[in-house]
Amino acid sequence: MRIPMMAGNWKMNCDNPAAVELAKGIVEGSANALGCEVIVCPPFTALSAVNDVTKDSPVSLGGQNFFWKADGAFTGEIAADMLLCCGCEYVIIGHSERRGRFGATDEDFAEELQSVFGDNDATVSIKLKAAVDAGLKPIACCGELLSEREKGMTDAIVSDQVRAMLDGCSEEQLHSVTIAYEPVWAIGTGEVCEADEANRVCGLIRAVVAEVAGQETADNMRILYGGSVKPDNVEGLMAQAEIDGGLVGGASLKADSFCTLIEVAGRAKRA
């Protein structure tokens, strides 16, 4: 049985005092929630401070990104060991924003500026294997733009991204991998993919994993949905058979809303 997961991606929010306060609220608010694994992913600057709050609790810590080299002349990058020494157990890989793919148009990020984020299918693949080999558990992201969905390309885009991220992985490496489906057009926009459609695409992802790594690996792998998950839509999403939890942005920045998601996920999957 797959244990549901709620992972909070705090993105570029929270200085250290705010991060500590939020972490305390999540630890306290989720103390009685059963049957759901909880991860928080603060900015790099707040990892150690948040770890002081979460280290003796069931809440796990994750990084939002990392670089696949162990050390070297890579200004501004973060290595796996740096995350581990801050208490991280998880790391998000290939989030659409790290790929320069945004759900809402941002005038600051014209096409020629999007390369600052850098990730693509090739880097996601090498990061996934490097994370596992270093002892981190990757939450690897995939998803389509609105323009791609409107052209009927969703299945092809998502399948290709999943095949690319898993390319060259051994069955053993895949035991610690979680995949998150995040339709890019639903991230930070207030739009949400209908639960039935989110379930269908998560099922497609599982089918691709089965094709690449076998049915047993696919059956055991957690697949999350990410994209404007909120207390008012989480029940419908968590009722779906192929959705094992959420990769949550805005709703993870308020302890009460995030704890509601945790409680609903645990209850839905116990039913």
Residue 105 to residues 80, 100, 102, 256: CA-CA distances in angstroms? Answer: 32, 11, 7, 29
The answer to whether 28 is a known catalytic residue is no
Give pLDDT, residue 167: 95
Say which CATH superfamily domain 5-270 falls into. Aldolase class I (3.20.20.70)
Give pLDDT, residue 187: 81
The answer to whether 97 is a known catalytic residue is no
Catalytic residue among 37, 97, 148, 182: 182
Instruction: Give average pLDDT by consecutive 10-residue segment, the chain, 271 residues.
Output: 95 98 97 93 98 97 98 97 98 94 66 80 97 98 93 97 96 94 86 92 98 96 95 96 97 97 89 62
Tokens of 154: 């969703």
Give pLDDT, residue 117: 85
Catalytic residue among 95, 97, 144, 148: 95
Give pLDDT, residue 110: 65
What backbone torsions phi and psi does residue 176 show, to the nearest 5 degrees?
-105, 10
Question: Could you write out the three-class secondary structure of the chain?
Answer: CCCCEEEEECCCCCCHHHHHHHHHHHHHHCCCCCCCEEEEECCHHHHHHHHHHHCCCCEEEEECCCECCCCCCCCCCCEHHHHHHCCCCEEEECCCCCCCCCCCCCCCCCHHHHHHCCCCHHHHHHHHHHHHHHCCEEEEEECCCHHHHHCCCHHHHHHHHHHHHHCCCCHHHHCCCEEEECCHHHCCCCCCCCHHHHHHHHHHHHHHHHHHHCHHHHHHCCEEECCCCCCCCHHHHHCCCCCCEEEECHHHHCHHHHHHHHHHHHHHHHC
Nearest one of 214, 243, 240 to 226, comparing CA atoms: 243
